Amino acid sequence: MNNTIGPEAILAKRRSYFYPCTQHFYSNPPQIVRGDMQYVYDSTGRRYVDFFAGVSVVACGHCNGEIAQATIGQLRTLQHTTTIYLTQPMADLAERLASILPGAIRRTFFCNSGSEANEGALLLARLHTGKRGFIALEGGLHGRTALTMAVTGIPMWRADADADAGNDWVSFIPRPFDPGLAPDEAARRSIAALERVLADKGDSIAAMIVEPVQGNGGIVVPPLDYFKEVEALLERHGVLLIADEIQTGFGRTGRMFAMEHYGVTPDIMTTAKALGNGVPIAAFSSTDDIAASFRRPSASTFGGNPVSSVTALAVLDYMERERLTERAAHLGSVLAAGLRRLQSRHHCVSDVRGLGLMLGMEIGGDDPNQGAARVDRILERMKDRGFLIGKNGLGRNVLAFQPPLVVGEPDILNMLEALDAVLGLESSMEEGEKPWN
């Protein structure tokens, strides 16, 4: 494209005008200029299959024509008011969400981002219970506001030194996952820790916040009976359960919401990302009884604005008509089977895990840094072959596969073939061959 300045010029501007905390993937990053469903294109016209979807955001695909048409139509009609004025799209969206949210969850407060949604959910729990404490899992990520950072269990995402030092109103317990333990043993360790915290502090704890599948923590899936035990313990002590479905919500895991895999309905649920397919919108939702505790005046200037609400309604229409939840379950099984075949072929792959089209491939090494370095090389080589993959994990050594739910089976098979070759290069490096070829 003739009107692009190119990657080097963009990097120079970022160095001059961005905060140093803003980072990017790749030692040789492309300039992304266009998107079309599961594909993105760089400034040279090269096409890439996107297997990260902006971290689970564009579930319906980049620049989905049907959704974009609804967005543009609303932009031309009424772009912005706030909640103090009556507009129909926000009310229609709240009604639509009530029809798909689990159990008795039917009340929604709209905001702009996952961090804001989780912040609101934590505040709601305090207002309803009259208690201030929280329980969170190690390895969880819940946002970058002060309160959500305090309940985030990944050190690299706790930028506030005070939050990193901890406080007496957040209790972290081990997550139900440990590579050195059997799954049931890791779950029992987590439940035992929860029992101790509740016995010691239960009278002061408002809620426990969890991701049904930990995303940035490395695509960690608890055993299917884990949240049933958690739910029973929390109910016994009058502690609410908040499900952070920011990454997992709206079909990503092969169910509309990931908590459905566990047969548990949370007291409060947070959503964002896929709901707007790239247009900022988020929400925290709860039951009539819990929502009734939030009576003091509150508003969100941009939350649930007409453009975001019409977009979200178009997203839900498209997901339902194209059966994207079922598609994620089917294609997720294809992708998972392929990744496990690669695990059997390449000893640098230590684990494959996930649900639906939210899968992680952990890359091992002799030390924590080696796995992370391998992941960076794999990402670079896969990018050079036309595939964009994410990374996460506490050690940044997990390849993250979270593509748009409209991705095609041929895209998956082609990616697996390329990944097989790239993992083979990692094996060659271990045998002393040249690291780049």
What average pLDDT is seen over the chain? 94
At 158, the pLDDT band (50, 70, 90 cuts) reads confident
φ/ψ of 424, rounded to 5, equals: -60, -35
Residue 246 has pLDDT above 70, yes or no: yes
Asked whether 186 and 174 are in contact (CB, 8 A), the reply is yes
Question: What pLDDT score does 368 carry?
Answer: 74
Name the E strands within 211-357: 240-244, 268-271, 282-286, 349-355
Condensed to tens digits (0 to 9), the pLDDT of residues 333-375 reads 999 999 999 999 999 999 999 999 999 999 997 787 899 999 9
Residue 120 has pLDDT above 60, yes or no: yes
Question: What pLDDT score does 299 carry?
Answer: 84
Residue 431 has pLDDT above 80, yes or no: no
Question: What pLDDT score does 437 carry?
Answer: 33
Residue 411 has pLDDT above 70, yes or no: yes
Residue 1 has pLDDT above 50, yes or no: no
At 430, the pLDDT band (50, 70, 90 cuts) reads low
Helix, strand or coil, per DSSP, at residue 353: strand
Question: What pLDDT score does 365 carry?
Answer: 79
Asked whether 220 and 213 are in contact (CB, 8 A), the reply is yes
Find, among 265, 409, 251, 423, the residue nearest to 337 by Cα.
409
Q: What is the DSSP letter of 302?
A: S
Residue 317 has pLDDT above 70, yes or no: yes
* Mean pLDDT confidence for 226-240: 98
Question: What pLDDT score does 198 carry?
Answer: 97
Question: What pLDDT score does 235 carry?
Answer: 97
Question: What pLDDT score does 433 carry?
Answer: 43
Is residue 429 packed enough to be buried (19+ CB in 10 Å), middle (13-18) or exposed (0-12)? Answer: middle
Q: Are strands 240-244 and 205-210 parallel, antiparallel or unpaired?
A: parallel
Is residue 65 packed enough to be buried (19+ CB in 10 Å), middle (13-18) or exposed (0-12)? Answer: exposed
Asked whether 319 and 251 are in contact (CB, 8 A), the reply is yes
Rounded distance between C-alpha atoms, residue 71 and residue 53, angstroms: 19
Q: What is the DSSP letter of 386?
A: T
Q: pTM for the complete prediction?
A: 0.94
Residue 127 has pLDDT above 70, yes or no: yes
Condensed to tens digits (0 to 9), the pLDDT of residues 30-45 reads 999 999 999 999 999 9
Residues sharing a CB contact under 8 Å with residue 51, sequence separation 6 or more, in sequence order: 387, 388, 389, 390, 401, 402, 403, 407, 415
At 434, the pLDDT band (50, 70, 90 cuts) reads very low
Question: What pLDDT score does 38 carry?
Answer: 98
Q: Determine the Cα angle at 256 with ends 254 and 257, to 5°.
A: 100
Q: Which residue has the higher pLDDT, 431 or 298?
A: 298
